[in-house]
Amino acid sequence: MADLEGVPYYIPVSRARVKEALFSKEGMTDTQKKGLERVSEMMEAIWHHDAHSVQERLKGIYEHMDPDMHEPPDFSTVGDFLKSLDEVLIDGNWEAVTDQEMQDALDGEDVFPISLNVRFDEFKEMHLYKLGENQFTDVRKSWLGLKKETIHVNAYDRILQVIQYKDKDWFQSQKRMKHYPGEYADGLHLHLFKTVPKLDLETIFPNTTPNMRLIDKVKVAVPLVGGIVTLAAKFGPLLFGHKAADTSAAFIAGALAAFATYMVKAYLSYRKTKDKYLTKVSQDLYFKGQANNSAVLNLITDIGEEQEVKEALLAYSFLLVEADKKYDMSALDDRIEEWISDTFDVTVDFEVDDALDKLERFNLLKKDDAGLLSVVPVEEALEIMDDYWDNIYTYAN
């Protein structure tokens, strides 16, 4: 298997596009295409049923802590919910955002030209999950705003945020009531975002404090230092009994006025940058926010369902259509990763072991003593899955 450390497992291509490309693959016969379409149909039905069951279970637990419910939240099952949610996210190829990735975001800037401080200690629970990565271009000003340059921004394809605020008593004890969100803090908050720049990850948090960047501090500090030096040169000698340089009072007043004006201008420039940032964040969250609270559960189970079917279908299809290649696990992994890269121009660390486990679940996979893999023919696979489907509910038996 190729070394793809750090490459996401998530396949950032829709199931429809994967099927379209897969079923038109060179060397596939019409019979194989029709058979795989039916196999895919059965896989989709089975995993959709499973996903619906998972979704209903999650929603049933979450209902008691949903901020959108018109009753006080009950956090007695929050531990069970977070554990179940984590299992669903793992199946869907989500990964936890690491402490280092969060620190890199706090230290750096990508699209937003301002630094933010996140008050993490206000959260009782805070979890971030990432799904896939992408890249987009953005235009930013350089050389003191005199030049524009196009930059490539690395972003997370999706970010899931789970937060629970500490209670009102904590904010009172810490004398931070000005930061207490009030009734908006109630419940366990779920937020799903798309295309979040890696170094602007902190912008999705609701409790941030803008900080002046070094360049903003320099803009304010330089005229201040310059003014102090000028005044010291003019009046410093008086402290030692000497005469000040011969400069008219009007000139001194004008210099001080210019100095003050520049300082105010520099500060207002920072305020303008801050206001521009707040507008940009508001606009960005409007377009990049995909879902909140219980609606998030619908989306993540749907995403997970698609991933499961794509993985199983890819493994089955390549073992069926390219049976003459006699793949073992490593070779199959490399082949599918190569095909995804060549077909969609994306790099994925295909979870071959997980895909094969799915085929084994339905007895669709065969493995000989040498570790070579194969799958049962289409008609047998359909019969196996159809029998499974017919026996999901046996109330009448």
For residues 220 and 283, which has the higher predicted lDDT (pLDDT)?
Answer: 283
Which is more confident, 304 or 145?
304
What's the pLDDT at 46? 95
Checking DSSP bridges between strand 289-292 and strand 189-197, what pairing results, if any?
Answer: antiparallel
Lowest mean per-residue pLDDT among 132-146, 288-302, 325-339: 132-146
Q: What is the mean pLDDT of residues 149-173?
A: 91
Which residue is associated with the tokens 């046996």? 394
Residue 140 above 80 pLDDT? no
Question: What's the CA gap between 8 and 113, in Å, rounded?
Answer: 28
pLDDT of residue 239: 47
Whether 82 shows a pLDDT value over 50: the answer reads: yes
Question: pLDDT > 90: what percent of the chain?
Answer: 57
C-alpha distance from residue 188 to each of 6, 78, 129, 161, 302 (Å): 30, 8, 15, 10, 21
Burial of 140 (0-12, 13-18, 19+ CB in 10 A): middle
Position 70 scores a pLDDT of: 83
Neighbours of 222 (CB within 10 A): 13
Question: What's the whole-number mean pLDDT along residues 184-204?
Answer: 90
User: Is pLDDT larger for residue 131 or for residue 222?
Assistant: 131
Residue 123 has pLDDT above 50, yes or no: yes
CB atoms near residue 391 (< 10 Å): 9
Which residues in 237-284 belong to E strands, given as ranges? Answer: none
> Which of the residue ranges 149-153, 252-256, 257-261, 302-306 would you say has the lowest mean pLDDT?
252-256
- pLDDT over threshold 60, residue 244: no
Note whether 165 and 184 are within 8 A (CB): no
Does the pLDDT at position 284 exceed 80? Answer: no
Residue 67 has pLDDT above 60, yes or no: yes
- Of 114, 115, 98, 97, nearest to 106 by C-alpha is 115
The answer, yes or no, to whether residue 273 has pLDDT greater than 50, is yes
CB 88 within 8 A of CB 54: yes
With 0-12 CB in 10 A as exposed, 13-18 as middle and 19+ as buried, what is 94? buried
What are the extents of the domains in the chain? 15-49+304-390, 97-211, 214-270
The per-residue pLDDT for 14 is: 93
What's the pLDDT band for 232 if we cut at 50, 70, 90? low
Other beta carbons within 10 Å of 230: 14
* Model pLDDT, residue 111: 62
CB 366 within 8 A of CB 373: yes
DSSP, residue by residue, 314-378: HHHHHHHHTGGG---HHHHHHHHHHHHHHHHS------HHHHHHHHHHTT-EEE-TT--EEE--H
Q: Taking residues 35-60, report their average pLDDT.
A: 95
Contacts of 234 (CB under 8 A, 6+ apart): 244, 245, 247, 252
Containing 48, the helix (H) or strand (E) segment is: helix 30-62
pLDDT at 237 over 70: no
Please give the residue that has the higher pLDDT: either 249 or 40.
Answer: 40
User: Is a pLDDT exceeding 50 seen at residue 294?
Assistant: yes
Per-residue pLDDT, averaged over 358-366, amounts to: 95
pLDDT of residue 219: 60
Q: What is the mean pLDDT of the chain?
A: 84
- pLDDT at 235 (0 to 100): 52
pLDDT digits (tens, 9 = 90+) for 204-231: 898 887 765 665 566 656 655 655 555 5
- Mean local confidence (pLDDT), 26-31: 88
